[in-house]
Amino acid sequence: MKRFILLLLLPMALVACGRDIEIDGAWGRVSPGAVSNGAFYMQIANNKGEDDALVAVQSSTCRTIELHESQVDENGVMRMAPVTGGQIALPAGETVTLQPGGLHVMCIGLARPLAMGQRIPLTLVFADAEEIAVEAEIRDEAP
């Protein structure tokens, strides 16, 4: 009887462990004028006991999505470029913040400008964890 109960509880335990990555505060900025690119920001908490990585983001709102980082070059100019290795590391037990001036999700080739109050669906793809669907709220400034 104990084995039977254990077998029934095992799938529930696996489901509970499947959401060890948490996404909080996903947002993007309103597109000024006819700008064809945009960026999304959020906090990603890795509550697992092992490292993971954000390897891709998908959305029908963007022709292409890249994981980017803003950096100041040797001349003091802020530049954006794809992250080294094409993924954002998510160390075990830590929260990684994607924010203006740092790490972010770059949407290249917007299907339409991002307007105040829109909710843009994003699917986050990880090296090990399950994909997570979120909606990024469009606003004019950080929350």
Largest CA distance in the chain: 71
What's the start-to-end Cα distance of the chain, in Å? 52
Domain ranges of the chain: 19-139
With CA atoms as reference, report the closest residue to 56 among 143, 129, 137: 129
pLDDT of residue 76: 82
Domain 19-139 = CATH 3.40.50.20: no
pLDDT of residue 13: 37
Using the predicted structure, report yes or no on whether residue 118 has a pLDDT greater than 60.
yes
pLDDT of residue 142: 72
Using the predicted structure, report yes or no on whether residue 10 has a pLDDT greater than 80.
no
- Mean pLDDT (the chain) is 87
pLDDT of residue 14: 38
CA-to-CA distance for 77 and 110, rounded, in angstroms? 25
CB atoms within 10 A of CB 106: 21
pLDDT of residue 24: 97
| Burial of 114: CB neighbours in 10 Å, binned 0-12, 13-18, 19+ | buried
Dihedral (CA of 93, 120, 81, 132) sign: positive
Query: For residue range 11-33, what is the model confidence (pLDDT) as tens digits?
Result: 433 333 447 999 999 999 998 87
Dihedral (CA of 70, 73, 77, 81) sign: negative
DSSP 85: G
With CA atoms as reference, report the closest residue to 40 among 95, 119, 112, 93: 119
- Tell me the backbone φ, ψ of residue 31, rounded to 5 degrees: -80, 125
pLDDT of residue 33: 76
**CA distances for 30 relative to 27, 60, 109, angstroms:** 10, 17, 15
Query: For residue range 49-102, what is the model confidence (pLDDT) as tens digits?
Result: 999 999 999 999 999 999 999 988 888 888 889 999 999 999 999 999 999 999
Query: Helix or strand or coil: residue 72?
Result: strand
pLDDT of residue 32: 83
Give the bridge partners for 84, in sequence order: none
